[in-house]
Chains A and B, each alone.
Chain A
Amino acid sequence: MKRVGERQEALAGYAFIAVPMVLFLVLNIGTTLYAFFISLWDWNIRRGPEEFLGLQNFERILSDPIFQSAIRNSIYYTAIWVPLTMAIGLFLAVVVNQKIRGRTFFRAAFYFPAIASSAAITVLWIFLLQPDGLFNEIRGALGLNPLFQAIGYGPNHNWFGDYRTAMNSVIILNAWTTSGTFMLFYLASLQSISNDVYEAAAIDGAGPWDAFWKVTFPLLKPGHFFVATVGVIGGLQLFDQALIAGSSNGDPNNSLMTIVLYLYNAAFVQLNFGYAAAVGVVLFLVIFTATLIQRRLFGDTQPA
C-alpha cells in the first residue's frame, strides 16, 4: 500500500517538473554544452559547421587588439563601477537605516531609477550629457565651468562623444541606476547586526564614526562579499548601455567596446558564429575566474 503511494507521488513529482525541467535542460544546459562545441568550428548560420578549427578561434580572439581593448574596458568599468556603487549603496543604507521619519519614502526614492529599463535610462542620459544638455547647462549656471576647464573639459563637452569620457559617463550612469539596488542589499545585511553590538560599542565610548568603521563595516563582510560578487559579474556583462550609447562598434574609438558587445558584434555584424561562441566561452571563463578570486579574497564569510 505504502509503496504504491510512494510510486504515485514520484510519478506526480516527475509530471510536475517535466515541462520546466525540459526547458532548463534544453535551453540552459544543452545550449551551454552546444556553445563549447560551436566555439571549435567555423560555423555558418545557414549551413552549420563548415570547418573544424580546434582552438583557432580562441587564438584569434586573444590576439585581436579590439578584443584586448574590449577586455580592458570591461575590467576598467567593473573596477571603478563596483566599488563606487558599493560605497554609495552602503552610505545610503546606513542613512536610511536610522530611525527617522520618512525613511520608507527615501528608500523607495533611492531605488526608483532601478525600475526603469536600461534603454530608457541610457537614452535619457545621452540627452542629459550631450554638448548642450542639462548637465553642461547646470554646471555653467552654477559657475562650475572653470573647475571643469581646469581638468580639460570645455563648457560644451560631449561626454558620450569623447573617447576619454564615454566609459566614465557609463560608469556614472550605472552608479546612479544601481546605487539603490546595492542599498537594498546592504539594508538586508545591516538588519542582521544585533543592536547589542552597538550598545556595547556605545558603552565603550565609541562615537558614531568609530562605531561605523570598527563595528558595522567589519560585521558587514558577508554583505560586502555578496554585493561585490553580484556587481563584478554584472559589470563584466556590460552591454545594453554600451550598445545604445556607442552602437555595435563601441564608438567613439572603441572606448565603449566591451566583451559582450564584441560578442554581439561578432555574431550579428560579422555573422561569425563560431568565433562569437568562442567569445562567450572566454567571457564565461573570465567571470568564473573573477568569482573564484573573490571567493578566495573574502569568501570565508562565516558569520562572526
Chain B
Amino acid sequence: MRNAPPPPSQPPREPGTDLPAAIVRTAAGGGSELAVAASLPAAARVEPDVGPVGDGTRGLRRTIAYALMIGYALLMFVPFAWTIITSFKTRPDSLNLEFIPDPLTFAGWQFAIENLEPSIVTLFTNSAVIAAAVTITNLVLGSIGGYAFARLRFPGREILFLVVLATLMIPDQLRLVPVYVLFNSLGLTRDVGQYISVILVLAISATSIFLLRQYFLSIPKDLEEAARIDGAGFFTTFYRVMLPLATPALAAVTILQFQGTWNAFFWPVILLRDQDHYTLPLGLLFFREAGGFSTNWPPLMAVVVIATIPIFTLYIFFQRYFVEGVAASGVKG
C-alpha cells in the first residue's frame, strides 16, 4: 500500500501538534461534535486494503463477516427508520409495533409544522443562520490564520501557534461561567445579542486553523514564489494563488463546522435563553421537557427527522469528507 499514514499519537513532528492530548474536546460525551483536526492530504485518502492473509476458511469467515455487518448496519438504521415511520402514524398508533403506518397520516407533520411554539420554521432558520455564520467565520479566519502560521515568517509564530493548540485542552465547561459573564456584561445575552454570542464563541476553532495550516504546509512553494516575484502582495498571493489550491481542506472545514454547529448543544443551551432564539436541538429539549415521558410522539419524531435531514443530505453527497476527516484526525501527529 502507498504511504501508510503514521499511527495515531506518533511523536509529533510539529511543535505542539500532539493530537491525542490536544484534540480532546470530542464528541464522545456529546456524541455530536467531531474530534477532527487533521490535514486531509494524501495520507488520509489511502484506502484500507490490509487484511490478514487469507487461508482455507476464507469463505466461511466472509459469510460470518457479512452476517455481522448486515446485522450491525440494521441496528444503525432501524431506530432512524422507526422515527420516520412513527412520524406518519396517528397518535394512538404511535406505540404499536407496526412497520407500515395504518392509517398513514400527515397529521404529525402538520402539527409539527403549524402548531409548535417556538415554530419549526423559527428553529430551522436559527439553526441555519448560526451554522452558516460559524462556517463562514471558520473558513475566513481559519484560512488566513492557517496560511500565516504555515507560510509567513514573523517573530513569535511558534509560540502563538502553541497557544492556539493549547485551547483544545481547555474543556468548554470551564469557560461556561466566564464566557457567560463576559457576554452578559456586553449585553450579548439578550435579543439579537444571543445569536452574536453563540457565533462569537464558535467563530474560530483551533481545529480549523490546524487543518488549514497543515494543508498549506503541503502545497509546494514554487507558485507562491512566482506570484511574489511578479510583484503580488502577501494578501493577493494568499487570496489568488494559495486559497484556490486549498479547496479540499476548505471543503473539509465547511463540512465539519456546519455539521458541528448545526448539531451543537452546549453553547446554544448556555447562550440562547429566549425560546424564539432556540436552534433545533434546543427545540427538541424544550418539546421533550414540555411533554414529559408520555408525549405526542408523531410530531416530535417529525422534528427529529427535520433536525437530521440537512446533515443526512450532506452525508449522502459528501460522505468522503465526513469519514476521511474523522479517520485523518487519528492520523496526523
A residues contacting B by CB (< 8 A) are 6, 8-14, 16-17, 19-21, 23-32, 34-35, 38, 43, 45, 48, 92, 95-100, 102-103, 106-128, 130, 132-134, 137-138, 141, 158, 160-161, 174, 176-178, 180-181, 184-195, 198-199, 201-202, 207-208, 211-212, 216, 220, 222-223, 225-227, 229-231, 233-241, 243-244, 247, 260, 263-264, 267-268, 273, 276-277, 280-281, 283-284, 287, 291, 295, 301-303
Decide yes or no whether B218 CB sits under 8 A from chain A.
no
Least CB distance, A160 to chain B, in whole angstroms: 8
CB-contact partner of A100 in B66, B153, B155, B171, under 8 A: B66
A35–B175 CB distance below 8 A: yes
Q: Which residues of chain B (4-20) have a CB below 8 Å from chain A?
A: 4-11, 19-20
CB-contact partner of B326 in A8, A30, A106, A185, under 8 A: A185
B174–A126 CB distance below 8 A: no
A188–B327 CB distance below 8 A: yes
A199–B53 CB distance below 8 A: yes
Known: A17-B149, A38-B178. A208 touches B55 (CB 8 A): yes
Known: A109-B76, A141-B97. A115 touches B153 (CB 8 A): no
Most central of A99, A119, A188, A238 by chain B CB within 10 Å: A119
Least CB distance, B237 to chain A, in whole angstroms: 9
Residues of A within 8 A of B329 (CB): 185, 188
> Nearest residue in B to A121 (C-beta to C-beta)?
B31
Residues of A within 8 A of B153 (CB): 6, 9-10, 13
Decide yes or no whether B30 CB sits under 8 A from chain A.
yes
A208–B61 CB distance below 8 A: yes
B175–A280 CB distance below 8 A: yes
B182–A115 CB distance below 8 A: no
A263 to B296, CA, bound (A): 31
Least CB distance, A279 to chain B, in whole angstroms: 8
B175–A20 CB distance below 8 A: no
> Nearest residue in B to A259 (C-beta to C-beta)?
B173
Least CB distance, A145 to chain B, in whole angstroms: 14
A134–B82 CB distance below 8 A: yes
Decide yes or no whether B227 CB sits under 8 A from chain A.
no
CB-contact partner of A303 in B7, B154, B297, B312, under 8 A: B7
Q: Which residues of chain B (202-240) have a CB below 8 Å from chain A?
A: 203-204, 206, 209, 233-235, 238
A295 to B169, CA, bound (A): 15
A184–B32 CB distance below 8 A: no
Given contacts A188-B7, A239-B266, 9 further A-B contacts (CB under 8 A): A13-B148, A27-B201, A119-B281, A138-B97, A176-B76, A201-B52, A234-B24, A237-B29, A268-B270
A11 to B148, CA, bound (A): 11
Known: A223-B330, A226-B20. A23 touches B184 (CB 8 A): no
Residues of B within 8 A of A287 (CB): 24, 171
A-B contacts, 20 of them at CB < 8 A, read: A9-B234, A16-B148, A21-B145, A23-B204, A31-B175, A45-B181, A106-B72, A118-B281, A119-B307, A120-B304, A121-B31, A134-B79, A141-B97, A185-B35, A191-B50, A195-B1, A223-B330, A234-B29, A239-B29, A303-B6
CB-contact partner of A284 in B61, B79, B167, B174, under 8 A: B174
Known: A117-B307, A230-B24. A29 touches B9 (CB 8 A): no
> Nearest residue in A to B316 (C-beta to C-beta)?
A108
B residues contacting A by CB (< 8 A) are 1, 4-11, 19-21, 23-32, 34-35, 44, 46, 48-53, 55, 57, 61-62, 65-66, 68-69, 72-73, 75-77, 79-80, 82-83, 86, 95, 97, 141-142, 144-145, 147-149, 152-155, 157, 160, 163-164, 166-167, 170-182, 184, 200-201, 203-204, 206, 209, 233-235, 238, 259, 262-266, 269-270, 280-282, 284-285, 287-289, 293, 297, 300-301, 303-304, 307-308, 311-312, 315, 319, 322-323, 326-331
Residues of B within 8 A of A198 (CB): 50-53
A291 to B24, CA, bound (A): 10
> Nearest residue in A to B170 (C-beta to C-beta)?
A32
Residues of B within 8 A of A189 (CB): 7-8, 330
Known: A32-B170, A188-B330. A118 touches B77 (CB 8 A): no
A180 to B76, CA, bound (A): 10
A32 to B257, CA, bound (A): 23
A120–B281 CB distance below 8 A: yes
B52–A208 CB distance below 8 A: yes
Residues of A within 8 A of B307 (CB): 116-117, 119-120
Residues of A within 8 A of B62 (CB): 98, 100
CB-contact partner of A13 in B152, B233, B331, under 8 A: B152
Residues of B within 8 A of A281 (CB): 174
Residues of B within 8 A of A118 (CB): 30-32, 263, 265, 281
B285–A301 CB distance below 8 A: no
Residues of A within 8 A of B25 (CB): 233-234, 237
> Nearest residue in A to B284 (C-beta to C-beta)?
A119
A191–B145 CB distance below 8 A: no
A24–B167 CB distance below 8 A: yes
A240 to B60, CA, bound (A): 42
Residues of A within 8 A of B27 (CB): 114, 178, 181, 234
Most central of B206, B266, B282, B311 by chain A CB within 10 Å: B266
Residues of B within 8 A of A193 (CB): 50
A110 to B201, CA, bound (A): 31
